[in-house]
Amino acid sequence: MSELRAGTCALPLEPPLGVPMMGYGARVGVAEGALDRLHARALYLAAGSDLLLVECDLCLVAPQQAAALRARLAARTGVPP
C-alpha cells in the first residue's frame, strides 16, 4: 500500500479596479472596490498516483485559458493534466 501524501494552498486573486464584472444579467459598470477577496485554491493528493485539483473564484474561464493553465501546472508540478 502506498503512503498518502496531501497538501493544500490558497492564494488571493487580486484583479485591478476597473475591470468588467460578471454575476448577473443586469450588472453594469466596472469593479470599484472589493467586498470579498477572490482566491485560487489547490488540493494535492498522492498515493500511487497524483491528483491535483485547482479551484478559482471566477465565473468563466475560456477553454484555451484552462488548457494553458493545465499545461503550466503540469510543467511546474510534474502532475499530468
- List, run by run, the mean pLDDT of 10-residue segments along the chain (81 residues): 90 90 79 89 93 90 94 93 87
Q: Which residues face 20 on adjacent strands?
A: 30
Q: What is the pLDDT of residue 7?
A: 96
CA 37 – CA 22 distance, rounded (Å): 15
C-alpha distance across the termini of the chain, in Å: 24
- The pTM (predicted TM-score) of the whole model is 0.77
Q: What is the pLDDT of residue 1?
A: 65
- Phi, psi for 40 (deg, rounded to 5): -115, 130
CA 39 – CA 57 distance, rounded (Å): 6
Q: Which residues face 43 on adjacent strands?
A: 8, 53
